[in-house]
Amino acid sequence: MNLTLQTDYAFRTMMFLAVKAPELATIQEISTHYKISRGHLMVIVNKLGNLGYLDTVRGRGGGIRLLRPADEIRLGEVVLAMEPHFHLVECFQPEASHCLISRSCRLRGVLDQALRAWFDVLNGYTLADLVRKNVELTSLLDVSGANTLTDTIKESARMQ
């Protein structure tokens, strides 16, 4: 199973914003850091905004930030919101399935169980779990300016 590039970029964007929180970031800033097409990122940011994950501030000095705290955003919910479907095999779409053995096949049940387990694992983690106390990530993103989460990370690193 592969996640779409949109989901990958959505996670990268949200991780960047979680590290930078509560400050605003710009699409250009995120695009530059990740070397992602600005156009692709604009589409993803728009979608994340419409889904209620991002707050967009227009005008001079504007930008984007997480609308909800990072510790309230479950990874599985982001995947479900961003991915178009989870049709692992043909029979996951009964209306389009031409599989001769669908009625007696047990594979769909096994795959469905595996998919639920996968989402259970993803929903066991939040966006904050990806960035909290992740000094290397903060360094790689080279996010300038002090912020609450970054200060907490740096303080934790000093105490270790």
- Which string of DSSP letters, residue by residue, matches 113-133? HHHHHHHHHHTT-BHHHHHTT
pLDDT for 60: 87
Q: What is the DSSP letter of 69?
A: -
Please give the pLDDT value at position 144.
Answer: 54
- pLDDT for 153 equals 42
Q: Tell me which residue has tokens 């605003």.
A: 24
pLDDT surpasses 90 at 67? yes
- The residue that leads in pLDDT, 5 or 151, is 5
- Residue 57 is classified by DSSP as E
Asked if residues 97 and 88 have their Cβ atoms less than 8 Å apart, the reply is: no
Residue 147 has pLDDT above 50, yes or no: no
126: helix, coil or strand?
A: strand
Q: How far is CA 148 from CA 15, 19, 21, 145, in A?
A: 14, 9, 7, 10
- Could you report the per-residue pLDDT of 109-135, keeping only the tens digit for each? 898 899 999 999 999 999 999 999 988
Contact yes or no for 134/153 (Cβ under 8 A):
yes
| Structure confidence at residue 155 (pLDDT) | 44
CA distance 44 to 54: 10
**Architecture of the domain spanning 5-153:** Orthogonal Bundle (1.10)
Angle 14-71-149 from CA coordinates, rounded to 5°: 70
Q: Answer positive or negative: Cα dihedral of 80, 11, 13, 130.
A: positive
The residue extents of the domains of the chain are 5-153
CA–CA gap between residue 7 and residue 58 (Å, rounded): 24
Mean pLDDT for all residues in the chain: 86
Q: How many residues does the chain have?
A: 160
Q: What is the pLDDT of residues 28-65, one digit of tens each?
A: 999 999 999 999 999 999 999 999 999 999 888 899 99
